[in-house]
A = this chain, B = another copy of it.
């Protein structure tokens, strides 16, 4: 398992981590298999979405804030249950198929770390599964 760190600068933010993911996959020297990305935090998540126009990421962040307002009457005393809900809806993992030593992404796809209760120092875990013998 590999890890890398990111620092977020706002309470809610999508950070493009595609280059870190590509580097980790390249360093593993696996030609074929899976790349599992894991977020070990409960108020953050991982997603794959469009990276060409930064308005898409900001629309997702603002849309989620509209969908699940922080002002809802939650019980959890830390006042960040909106962030926990978003983490469960977006999810802590992303799986990428690896071919020819690279993660396969669609034309417009980039991998994002989704911060919902920052700014904080965060980690992302990466595990590679080799498929050289049984590639299909």
Copies of chain A in the complex: 3
A72: chain B residues at CB < 8 Å are 63, 66
A21: chain B residues at CB < 8 Å are none
A90: chain B residues at CB < 8 Å are 88-89, 91
A127: chain B residues at CB < 8 Å are 34, 97, 131, 136
A15 on interface, CB distance cutoff 8 Å: no
Instruction: Identify A129's interface contact among B66, B67, B131, CB under 8 A.
Output: B131
- A residues near B (Cβ < 8 Å) are 1-2, 28, 30, 33-34, 36, 38-42, 47-50, 53, 55-56, 58-60, 62-64, 66-68, 72, 74-78, 81-82, 84-85, 87-97, 99, 104-109, 125, 127-134, 136
Contact A134 B30 (CB under 8 A): yes
A36: chain B residues at CB < 8 Å are 34, 95, 97
